[in-house]
Structure 1
Amino acid sequence: MRSPTKLALILALFPLLLPVTSHAFTESFENNSFASRGWYDNTNQGTIVSGGQSGNCLQWNWAAGAVTPTNGASSRLAITPTDTLYLSFYVKFQSGWQGSQKTYHPHLMYILSDLDYNANHYSPLANNYLQTYVEFLSDIGNPYGVHPQIALQDEKRVNTSYGTPPNNLSATTENRSVNYCNTPVYSGVNGQTCFADNPYYSSNIWLSSATVPTGGWHHVEVYMAMNSVTNGKGNNDGIMQEWIDGTPVINQANILYRTAQDATKKWAEFVLAPYIGDGSPIAQSMWIDELTIQPTKPGNAAPSAPAGLSTTYK
């Protein structure tokens, strides 16, 4: 029989044995054998159905009032830590999709930093060193336009030593949140949050004015690159880009993802965790297919946008 000390050591080391996806990862959602493809935590994500962009796809189906869809708990994928990240997938919203009918949610896809992954392979999804959200926010009320959105939060880096947030510490210290609680809002940010939590929830939001038509498949591409850090200071030169069917909807080259405090911080974990915190306003479904995660952008030009897609962006 193993001694308690050895058993504790094995249990402590177990998360380190999780498979790490390197280079390009593709998930076609043809079947629900998620664990065999490197997913962990919830390995029975959503429902696999026919009628995808290609073959089968992943369906998220919320009942009215439900916070998560059927089998909607977090499914995680460890990726090789990277300074640059390209994400591609197809999405379809049912006709009449309403989202959350709030100014926040649904959360859908999350990308966590290596600091979070190394601290806890099952890191919480609301209290992080850096968490990137890729999601869609619906207008409140008919016609319920669906807008692409990317958001950042780094609650664990909020500095309260210099007073109650929000307070601008960009000229004071690099030991701070890169978001609203400790860093001033800069060009392109059109939403921000700072409220007492653990210690404070600190976020910036980039919400596009483009709308994604419902009832059909649309190609989503996201590319991000960490900002540089020189002379002990983080620079506002990170990249955040998103395309819908080849049309740019978010295009920023002034993003601050990290300060000198976390000069080598990278993205290291991808999570599927659909969530409508106040409950879905109606019974509704959406679908995801042909997910690709890799460190670099593909070289081919993106296709043209279909008719009906707004091309304006903020």
Structure 2
Amino acid sequence: MLWSTRIIIALSLGAASVAMADDDRGAVLFQESFDNADLAKRGWYDLNAVRIAGGAHAGPGCIEYEWASAEAGVQGSSPARRLFPPTDRVYLRYYLKLSDGWGWSGRSYHPHLTHFLTTENGKWHGPAASHLTLYIEPVAGKLRLAAQDIQNKDQPHGLTQGPIRGGYNGRFYDSKDVLFRDDQWHCVEAYFQLNTLDRDRDRPNADGVVRGWFDGK
């Protein structure tokens, strides 16, 4: 993100949907249009501010997050959570727009935008250190899909998302090219499928799936 006291930087999320995938692809777990600020009435929680802006990809509104300066932190809308039935395969689609003048922080892990957390953790658990967190986010203009499971270090099957490095672990899958380079709406899609377990050998199988699309490609 570009920190400036003169330029307002905004990130907007448009219509979003979460569904089961493959043979269950038609089973929508939930969808959200962000047409108005009544998110709590539609099952969202752990939020204290919602700003709905115009100029949405579809419908009358979209949710907006703004950074006016480094000291101010995020403004406009706060982070929010949404529960849905557990599944071992999940597909996400949403529309994302970055404002004119948007820049990047230069940090290799920034900004964290959208996550899936496992039900092995509670509904209030933070995403940074869990039994499994999946990430879908733009980083330095590229689309990143990632996963970490640092809390599994003492579990019988151990870590599945790489070794611990400097207090974190994770596997990162970045797009080859820079994709977020303008102030237009773009469609972001992601699909995750959990790996299965080889119970005879007491270890995880390497059959998990991670896929991502940007504007359908």
Fold similarity call, TM over 0.5: yes
1:128 aligns with 2:110: no
TM-score, normalization: structure 1?
A: 0.56
Deviations 1:269-292 (A, max 9, x none): xxxxxxxxxxxxxxxxxxxxxxxx
Structure 1: state its 5+ residue gaps: 1-20, 139-145, 160-172, 182-192, 248-314
Supply the distance in 1 between the matched residues of 2:176 and 2:148 (Cα, whole angstroms): 21
1:41 aligns with 2:46: yes
| Partner-residue secondary structure (3-state), 1:205 | strand
How far the C-alpha of 1:73 sits from its partner, in A, is 3.5
What is the match of residue 148 of structure 1? 143
Higher Cα Rg, which structure:
1
Deviations 1:163-221 (A, max 9, x none): xxxxxxxxxx953111222xxxxxxxxxxx6113xxxx211211112222311011111
What is the match of residue 10 of structure 2? none
Residue of structure 1 aligned with 2:157, choices 154, 162, 175: 175
Residues 71 and 177 (structure 1), Cα distance of their counterparts in 2 relative to 1, 3 Å cut: farther
Residue of structure 1 aligned with 2:212, choices 230, 242, 249: 242
What is the match of residue 172 of structure 2? 205
Paired amino acid for 1:125: P
Supply the distance in 1 between the matched residues of 2:171 and 2:73 (Cα, whole angstroms): 24
Residues 66 and 30 (structure 1), Cα distance of their counterparts in 2 relative to 1, 3 Å cut: farther
1:53 aligns with 2:48: no
| Partner-residue secondary structure (3-state), 1:82 | coil
The structure richer in helix per residue is 1
Supply the distance in 1 between the matched residues of 2:105 and 2:78 (Cα, whole angstroms): 18
What is the match of residue 157 of structure 1? 152
1:194 aligns with 2:147: no
Supply the distance in 2 between the matched residues of 1:74 and 1:90 (Cα, whole angstroms): 17
What is the match of residue 217 of structure 1? 185
Supply the distance in 1 between the matched residues of 2:48 and 2:135 (Cα, whole angstroms): 21
Paired amino acid for 1:246: G
Contact 1:23-1:80 within 8 A present in 2 as well = no
Aligned residues: 188
Q: Superposition pairs for residues 99-138 of structure 1, below 5 Å?
A: 99-116=104-121, 120-138=122-140
Deviations 1:112-150 (A, max 9, x none): 00101xxx2100221100001111111xxxxxxx11001
Residues 99 and 88 (structure 1), Cα distance of their counterparts in 2 relative to 1, 3 Å cut: same
TM-score, normalization: structure 2?
A: 0.80
Supply the distance in 2 between the matched residues of 1:66 and 1:101 (Cα, whole angstroms): 17
Structure 2: state its 5+ residue gaps: 1-18, 20-26
What is the match of residue 285 of structure 1? none
